[in-house]
Structure 1
């Protein structure tokens, strides 16, 4: 590799490791490899947001401020990380196999990813660069919330939120259909829901029939479902045709704009409500209360989602399984519609947080104190089979 320009080395390294260089400025590329640090991040959507908003920008500025910083991550996620010098995503050969991509996503473990593809890519990168990092370097600062080491090192918390574009980026067809409906709901019909097991989230395959029942109910109630399809979702378009508005394989730059324009996001055990916070968009989230408390999701709500209208419905995700189909209409779907209607009844867009990019100190004192007596468990009952 001696004698090659650094830009050529970057191109070759990306290709060998299975990445595509999707965002960079050639005139900012350094002249020596030793000035480059790569960070590999293939966590789930919840932890990708946490890293984007609360950890990586700070880490980069205060630990690697003199280095050219390259982030290797999911396709389309660069909107969460505009502050890195260069962004690489998995290349199109891997993207062609959605089953392969899903298996990589399901191998995410907090800030790490233990899939062979990601481990192999890191090994290749190590042959090109002196410094290749992954999410493990952040674990001393974050373990189900901020650690004492983070608070001791950084003294304060800085929160980053990206700029959100207007719905014009979605094109006239999107705006025209959105404007025709008073009630809209943003849905992400994931093939897997996140179950809390053995102290962490684990993916559980869920039937497409659940999403068909949920979307059908929203249609019956006069909503326009805005459906976000990607490699991790069921394709529900054959069942509903033009009754819904579909967003197919878009990057987060467009997805966040669509969320904000839709005006309400429903998170069904996927963590997509964290993207709603990034979009400063109201949301209703189905969540296990034990998980919510243990991973301190309330920290994220208070530090990053202050001013964002939100509602939680605390239930067990197993109620979404087909074996409990008899409970969907009589119990679960009624509860979801009720929460969404209650949230939307009081919405006033003039009071929503600004969509401008922000990076500012947020006092930890704003985080609510967890009162376990008040957070008593209220679950929808599921009969034994």
Structure 2
């Protein structure tokens, strides 16, 4: 996803730093948009006419019913080609599939659709500068930033990210009671706090507080905030707190690879090994139902299964699963697959190779 050419000076350093955070940024920002309980006041501006359709599409994305989202998005585009919403929801579906299944197969579709959505969201905002249209434009620009960064347009990506945050802050300024714009701001500030020991600004505690506010008061992004809080807790070793959130998410989104992956990790981290084993198996079955499949993701999942079986004294099963993991790792296609959010494939492969040497003794 990232060009391998060397970049000079500060630009190269900035690219390397952003590349390190980029998978987690995707996990935080693209956790799946699902509305909270209905707001006592109906949304105005760009969302008002299509709010029911949007909520349906968002719910389908979170339930991993991506093909249905794409079909309904095509209908939205046909009905109102001037609106950014159909293009954006289709782009969201493609990006979610890539992130959740770790496959680049739909990159071209995402790049094209989000570029169109960006233009149309800007035009809509110029014509109707409402609170919600500032919010829409800010969210769309946030996604467009990902496309630019993935194509190697790093400076444009940074400028687009800054524009996204500016639009979200404007929406918040226009309506201080509208919590949802805080979501993108929080993710941006959290990632800044992790770069160069926080020298670029951003306060982690303040970002987490914003996410909690959106989780509690969000009109549209309450569950999105829950996903992102889960990710921040996991990254910072607060496994019990992350698992409390995942318990709730799992009730509704057990078909989501993202939900399953986090659940498997968290059950493992908290010592619930038998339950973790079952979730890894559920995740593997989910990944194999959509083609193409990420061999790297399957290698990681089988490695965890092998490790769990070894911890549970099922050594023969552990060895068989480890061999399967190594075979998947050997078949990984780096030019077609994406990295995970928390651990690079190179590290997974190192763990597999170490286990192969150690467990044969």
The alignment's TM-score, normalised by the length of structure 1, stands at 0.27
- Structure (1/2) with the larger strand percentage: 1
